[in-house]
Structure formats: C-alpha cells, structure tokens
Structure 1
Amino acid sequence: MTRRPAPPLPPPKARRHLRETAALTQTQLASRVGVTPGTVRAWESGRTTPRGRKRDAYAKLLKTLADEETARRTTQTSHPESALEADSAPEPTSGSESAPARKPLPHEPDPVPESAPGSAPESVPESVPESTLEPAPAPEPGPEPVPEPVPEARPAPVALTPAQAFDALYEFGAPALVRQTYLLTGRREQAREAVERAFQAAWEHWPEVARDRDPVGWVRATAYEYALSPWQRLRPRHRRPEPPPADPGDRTLLNTLLRLPPRHRRTLVLYDGVGLDLPETAAETEASTPTAANRLLRAREAVAGRLPALADPQVLHRRLAELASNERLGAARPHAVRGDGERRARFWTRAAIAFTAALVGTTALTVRTAPTHYEPPVSPGQAVRGVPPRAAQGSLSDEELELRHKLRDQLQHGPERLSPRLE
C-alpha cells in the first residue's frame, strides 16, 4: 500500500501574504481550517509544518486564496487599460450622440469606410485630380544600414553544489548575524555559538532552506530562538560575566537593551536594527502585526526614557549599527561549521540507534525470562499442636545388636528347598 503524497504548500511568507491579501485574520483562517490561531501563527512563521488532514485543508484553502488573488489581479490589469482608452478619447459635445472616431496614428493608413453588403463600390469623385491617383514615386535608396554587432554568447552559469551554496550563504550572512545576536544577548561567545548552531540546523535542512525566499531570515530566526532560550541561564558560562564594551555610550545602550523583555528586544533589533518592515517583523517573532507594533513602541519608549538622545528612530538605527560594528566578533570557517554539524548529527544518530538497540535487547530478555504461567507463592509454615514430635533413632541395645548379627550370618536366600522322600 503506497501513501498519497502530501499536497505542496507555499513558503511561510507567501502564506501570510495570501491571508492578508484576502483580508483574513489568523483567527478566521484558523476557524476555517479547524485549528487554533497559535497553530496558524506557527505555520506562517515556518516553525512548524501541517500534516495529515490539516495539511490538506490548509493547502486547499491557500490554493483558493491564490486563485482569487490571480483573478483579482487579472481584473485590475484589464480595467486600467479600458480606463486609459476612455480617458484618451475626447469627450462628446452636448449635441452629439456618440464620440468622434479615434485619430489614426502616423504609421496607420486612413480608415476605409466599409460598404454595405450587396452594394457596388463607390466611384472616385470627379473633383479629385488625376495626379493624386497615380502611385507615389519610389523613395531613393539610402545608405545601407550597418548590421548591429551580435553579442557574444555568455557561458551558462555553473550550478553550485550544496556545500558551495551553503558556504556562500554562510560567508554572506554569518558576520552580520553574529553582530545582531550580540545585541540580543550581550555575550560574544553565546552569539557566535547561536549563529553556528543555526547554520548547522540549516545544513541539516538544506533542501528546505535552499528553496526558501529568504534563507538568511530562516537562519536568523533559528539563531534568535537559540540565543533567547531560557535554558541558556542554566549553563555555567552564563554565570560568568563578560567584559562590557569599552565605550561608555555603548555600554549604557547595551545595558538598556538587556533590560528590555526578550520579545521587545527582539522586535526592536529586527525593526530598528536589521531594518525589516512591520509585517515581516511580526511574522518572524510569531506575533500579529498590532502586537509587534505595540512591542516596538514600548521598547522605543523604554530606550528613550533612559537615553533621550535616541528618541529619533534614525538615530537609534545608527547607534545600534555602531554598537554592533564596534565589537570584533569573528565567525568560524564554513567547512568547520559543516563538519561540526555532521559530527553532531552522527553522534546523535548513533546514540539513538544504541538506545533503540538497548531497549530492544532489554525487551527481548524480559520476554525470554518472564514466567509463562502463574506460580502461587509458598505459604509460610505454621506450628501444628497435638501431634507428638517424631523421635530420632537412637543407639541399639545389646539384644538388638545380637539379633542383627544373627540375621547377617544366616543365608540370605531363605531356607533350603524341601524334597520328598519315600519311606
């Protein structure tokens, strides 16, 4: 029995775009699919993927929204052309019933009135001179046109291998992501480790990341989730403070950012630091657009309350870029990141195989040694009263010894056989 292939889904950002184009909220879309709004938010951010019947219903609904958007665009495309033709035509006068005919273009011939069916062609009026009926003289030959040079054929682009494409993505986005993650955590090693773990996860899911519209955004979301994880506080490295920035202004700004709640800090860094627009910021933080706007305003108020000079968003954007650029945060080489990710994947795969083998062996041993029938337990002994105890055999007396010797000396075959005799 073969499984039916799952229906394809558009990228997470395209799903959100289709929903917003159809003027649907996440709650309305969730009610139509039969899930919770949080599930729809996770689907649109790319954190989770629908499966089973929910995937079929979600894909069917998105296909319907895409068809409606295509039809609407087609209607909008055809409507401006008709409106443009109506605007270009002169308005009819008050006494006329219809608009005058369109003036022919210079390269178009004069329109010839169509004759009614069955009527003879009209004759040329006599007032037209004969010279006008003669064919126009042929134009004199001019200089021959110079042929345009044929452009040289460019070689076809060489397709990159998955490793080369990953290395190019890492070299392009890793340095900036390390600096951005540093603004979230205030720790250099933690920011570097978060970005490396995010790229290792991208290498594990490379077919999905390679087809994504914004691979850097996929890695950025994963790095931010790892850096802001509450489990980071339990690590011994988190207990040791790192040296703050040397500049007092940078130190004050970094402390102000770290005092913000993690969600407000992430929204501020994405919008004012990275430069994303509000819908993309909301999608990456798994929040609605009004919620992301509210978080952004509260974060700006908190920063402006402590640093009034950063009340202007442009100034805040410039200071965040300067704070991230002043720190020398290096990143490992791409081949090293790929190698660490592959080794970690092999380790966990072998650990899972070993655990499964141990579990199977323990189960088999238990089944082999387990009893197959019920054995009642032995009841504890109880003292019985009224029965004399059994006496042990003592030493033999002299008579008993004599009798035993006599029995041993006699023949063991019994008495002799009697035979009859005649008298």
Structure 2
Amino acid sequence: MTQSPATPLPPPNERRRLREAASLTQAQVAARLGVARETVRAWESGRTTPRGRRREAYTRLLAELAKTPRKRSAPEEATERPEETAPEAASLLTPAQAFDALYAFCAPALVRQAYLLTGRRGLARASVERAFQLAWQRWPEVARDRDPAGWVRATAYECALSPWHRFRLRHRHPEPPPAIASDRALLDVLLKLPPPQRRTLLLYDGVGLDLPETAAETEASTPATANRLVHARQAVAARLPDLADPAELHRRLAELASTARLRTAKPLTVRAGSERKARFWTRAAIAFTVALIGTTALTLRTAPTHYEPSVPPGEAVQGVPPRMAPGALSEAELELRAKLREETVSGPERLVPQAH
C-alpha cells in the first residue's frame, strides 16, 4: 500500500543531520532505498520531496537512524566523501576547534585516497598534511568556502601529483607493494594511468562525485572529464576484466585503500607545522626586503653624483692612436715582398703554391 502524503517527514536539514549522525554517506542511503545518490541529495537540500513507497521507506530509514546510529567499516571510510560525514561546524567553535573537527573527519580518508594516487604511504601522509597546513594558513578563506573538505581534497591531490617529488631522494626508492596479489595488480594499473585519468577515476568511481563535480574539481570541461573516465575504465578493464563493472571497481578501490594501514598526524601537530612554516617564510621575506633595501642604499651611496657626458662622435680622444687606412707599399716593403716570393719558389715542392 502506498503511504499517505501526510506521513510526517523531517525537514531537509534534519534528514541530513540524521544521516551524518549515523555516519552514512548519501551513496549508502541511496543504495538502501534503491534510488540514485542525486535523488538523496535533492531530498536533503529540499529541492524535491519523496512520494509513495519511497517516502514510506525513507521515513522508516530516518526513524531507524534516529534510534540506532551505525558505525562505519574501514573500507567505507577509505574512499568516502569527507564532506558527507563531517558535522556542521557550530558558530561557537573557535577557529582551532573547527579546523581540528575538519581534520579529524577528512584526513584519514584523504590519506587513503592519496595513497591510491601515488602508491607511496609517506608521500600520501605528507601531501595531506601539507594541504591542511595551507588550509590553516588560509583558514578564514577555507572556513567560508562552500565546500571546505573539497578545498582540502583538491589541494592534497595537487600536492600528491606534483612532478617535483621525483627529485626528492626518499621518493626515488620504491616502497613495498601490497601483500595480496590482486591489490598489487590493481595498484600497478592505477599508477600506470596518466595522472589526469587516475585522478578522475578516483574521484568518480572511488570517492563518488558525479561528473560535473569531478570536472569542476579537476578544472576540466565535462566532456573532457567523461573522456578521461572512459579511457581510464577501459585501461583498467583491459588489465583486470573483473573490474569492468563500476560497482565492483568502487568496492576494490575501497578495499585497496583500507589495506594500506595509514596513520595521520594529530591536528595540533599539523597546525604547529603550518605556523612554523608561516613564521619561516615571513622571516625570509623580511630578510629579503632588508637585503634589497641595503643593496639599494649601497648603490645610491656609490653611484656618481654628477653627470658625465659621453664623447661626441668625431672628436679626438687623447691616448688612442689614430686609425690608419691601408695605402701604397714603401720601397722597403716592396723589396721584402719580392724576396719572400723568390725564396718560396726555390724551396721544397710541397711549399710551392699551385696556380689555378
């Protein structure tokens, strides 16, 4: 029987709060209800309202979530969208507390995602820490951003895929591959993809972004993003036919990321490192400014105090011999030339010039 339209349904903000309190992603709720993730997002934003049996099922699910919160498993945490599980920051939180809350909910998943991008545990941790350090330095801007977790994720991906890492000695030595053969094969396929395709595949099939969101985060057009996704899926399916199904690929990416056993630094350590680097670069800028001022003062001190006009053309310069133009040979020079010619002819044959 279809549920009556008068069935009580929580407001959109309460729907999202119940899902986040139970640590569920929009994709997981959509899977339980048999709808698309975009549909759940529209319900939580208030753009649309479920009807009929979907409304009944959604109401029962929200009632269950209000009573029994659900704990996430490690594979689900590996490639989840951090912005879907992070609680809304309260207005009474200090900047440090808000940053720590964002870091606690986003950093573990981002480190696992960075590991899938690079295949290096140390580089994954360093990239995420660097991204959060930049976020703390620009915290007013990041805090007002529409999607702070997306801002940090994009920065972490840029740091992880930076080509300058190849010049660092510690990143030239390969790290131990995963112990399971299937994980090694999948990681090898991922690392052989071009970085743009690898990033697009991870965002779409791993994190769960839709195509416009993936295109916006990778700063590419939607057709170009779709083209990268198709080529990446084809490359993976050519090496691993079992992963031709996107759902199976998503599951395997989550499992591969969760087996890395990566740890993140404490938020206080990240904030302290960010402040330390900010002080270093501030002092470096001050030192450079002082050196520039000193150089300018020295130049003004040693520079000429009056103008010295250049020598006009045609005026004789003392101490420089005049230029001599070629003229007729003197009698002594003529005799010397004739003598040299006679001696050259009477010399060895190999020195006689040949007339042509």
Q: CA deviation at 1:368?
A: 1.0
Are residues 1:232 and 2:165 paired?
Answer: yes
Equivalent position amino acid for 1:248 in 2 = A
Shift of 1:380: 4.8
Are positions 1:286 and 2:216 aligned together? no
Q: Structure 1 residue aligned with 2:145, among 196, 212, 234?
A: 212
Tell whether 2:293 aligns with 1:360. Answer: yes
Whole-Å separation in 2 of the counterparts to 1:325 and 1:292:
26
Q: Quick one: distance in 1 between partners of 2:148 and 2:92? A: 18
Q: 1:201 aligned to 2:134?
A: yes
Aligned equivalents of 2:267, 2:242: Cα separation in 1: 40
Residues 114-129 of structure 1 mapped to structure 2, 5 A cutoff:
none
In the TM superposition, 1:69-218 aligns within 5 A as 159-218=92-151
Deviations 1:55-98 (A, max 9, x none): xxxxxxxxxxxxxxxxxxxxxx9xxxxxxxxxxxxxxxxxxxxx
Deviation at 1:275?
0.5
Residues 350 and 372 (structure 1), Cα distance of their counterparts in 2 relative to 1, 3 Å cut: same
Bigger mean CA offset, 290-299 vs 206-215? 206-215
Task: Please give the per-residue CA displacement for 1:311-355, whole angstroms capped at 9, x wherever unaligned.
Answer: 000000000000000011100000000000000011001001100
Deviation string 1:382-408 (CA, Å, 9 cap, x unpaired) is 9xxxxxxxxxxxxxxxxxxxxxxxxxx
Q: CA deviation at 1:379?
A: 5.6
Counterpart-to-counterpart distance in 2, 1:323 and 1:162 = 34
Are 1:328 and 2:328 counterparts? no
Describe the SS at the equivalent of 1:160: coil
Distance 2:165 2:260 in 1: 22
Say if 2:231 is the partner of 1:298. yes
Q: What CA distance in whole angstroms lies between the structure 1 residues aligned with 2:105 and 2:318?
A: 79
Give the number of aligned pairs. Answer: 228
Question: One-letter code of the match for 1:295?
Answer: R
Q: Aligned equivalents of 1:381 and 1:227: distance in 2?
A: 65
1:244 aligns with 2:158: no
Where relative contact order (Cα < 8 A, 6+ residues apart) is larger, the structure is 2
Q: CA deviation at 1:268?
A: 0.1
Q: How does 1:3-14 map to 2 (within 5 A)?
A: none
Give the Å deviation of 1:373. Answer: 2.2
| Amino acid across the alignment from 2:209 | L
Distance in 1, matches of 2:300 and 2:224, equals 56
1:201-243 Cα deviation digits (max 9, x unpaired): 1111111111122211100000001111111111112211111
Question: What does 1:248-263 align with in structure 2 at a 5 Å threshold?
Answer: 248-263=181-196
Which residue identity is paired with 1:185? T
Report the Cα distance in structure 2 between the residues aligned to 1:185 and 1:247, rounded to whole angstroms: 18
Write the deviation string for residues 262-290 of structure 1: whole angstroms up to 9, x where unpaired: 00000000000001111000000001111
Letter aligned with residue 289 of structure 1:
T
Q: What TM-score, normalized to structure 1?
A: 0.52
Sort the Cα spacing of 1:309 and 1:209 in 2 relative to 1 into closer, same or farther, 3 A: same
**In the alignment, what sits opposite 2:284?**
351
Mapped to 2, the partners of 1:353 and 1:248 lie a distance apart of 54
- Structure whose CA Rg is larger: 1
Distance 1:369 1:319, change over 3 A: same
CA shift in 2, pair 1:285/1:158, >3 Å: closer
Aligned partner of 1:189: which letter? G
Runs of 4+ in 1 over 3 A off after TM superposition: 374-382
Distance in structure 1 (CA, Å) of the matches to 2:163 and 2:240: 28
CA RMSD of aligned residues (A): 2.0
- Code of the residue aligned with 2:92 in structure 1: it is A
What amino acid sits opposite 1:326 in the alignment?
T
Q: Partner residue of 1:56?
A: none
Aligned to 2:199, the other structure's residue is in SS state: helix
1:341 corresponds to 2:341: no
Letter of the 2:184 counterpart? R
Tell me how far apart the structure 2 counterparts of residues 165 and 237 of structure 1 sit (CA, whole Å).
34
The match for 1:273 among 197, 203, 206 is 206
Residue 370, structure 1, aligned to residue 303, structure 2: yes
Cα distance between partner residues in 2 of 1:169 and 1:374: 64
SS of the residue 1:207 aligns to: helix
Q: C-alpha offsets along residues 286-319 of structure 1, whole Å, 9 cap, x if unaligned?
A: 0111111110010000000000000000000000
TM-score, structure 2 normalization: 0.61
